Amino acid sequence: MGDLLAKAGRPFSLMDVTGSTAPGRLPSKRKLLENGYAAAVDCTIRMVRLTADADIIRKRLRGRYSASQRSALEWHLERCDEIAARLEAAGLDELVIDTSTLGPQEVAERTLRHFGLLES
């Protein structure tokens, strides 16, 4: 996504807030606002949730962890369905993209088009 924005000559900032939460805890939009993210950059927080079929999620998780991270992998594999359901139930997403058959470039393009940052 950053490459596409840079190529279009647009200033940008990207933030993955899910990586900053404790296992089993999901950030709320309210919590992000309380923590000052929106105020710090003087902009609206716009949420995008990426989904995939359960089998694909598990395959991607297995490719994400090394052998020394087995306990973290097992934790995610045991809870990935629950986490996906909780994220969906939270209803905070402006955009949801099923990435089951998409590569990173296409996901980035769809996201940027949704926000009017990339021409069709």
Domain ranges of the chain: 2-114
How many Cβ atoms sit within 10 Å of the Cβ of residue 78?
9
Report the chain's mean pLDDT, rounded to a whole number: 81
At 81-101, the pLDDT tens digits run 999 998 899 888 899 999 999
Determine the Cα–Cα distance for residues 80 and 24; give it in Å rounded to an integer.
Answer: 10
Q: Is the pLDDT of residue 10 over 80?
A: no
User: Would you state the pLDDT for residue 16?
Assistant: 58
Q: Is the pLDDT of residue 40 over 80?
A: no
Q: Are 4 and 118 in contact (CB under 8 A)?
A: yes
Q: Is the pLDDT of residue 24 over 80?
A: no
Confidence of residue 119 (pLDDT cuts 50, 70, 90): confident
Residue partners of 64: CB distance under 8 A and separation at least 6: 73
Confidence of residue 27 (pLDDT cuts 50, 70, 90): low
Q: Is 9 left (phi over 0), alpha (psi -120 to 50) or beta?
A: left
Q: Is the pLDDT of residue 75 over 90?
A: yes
Q: How far is CA 1 from the centre of its chain?
A: 12
Q: Is the pLDDT of residue 2 over 90?
A: no
The C-alpha angle 89, 25, 97, rounded to 5 degrees, equals: 45
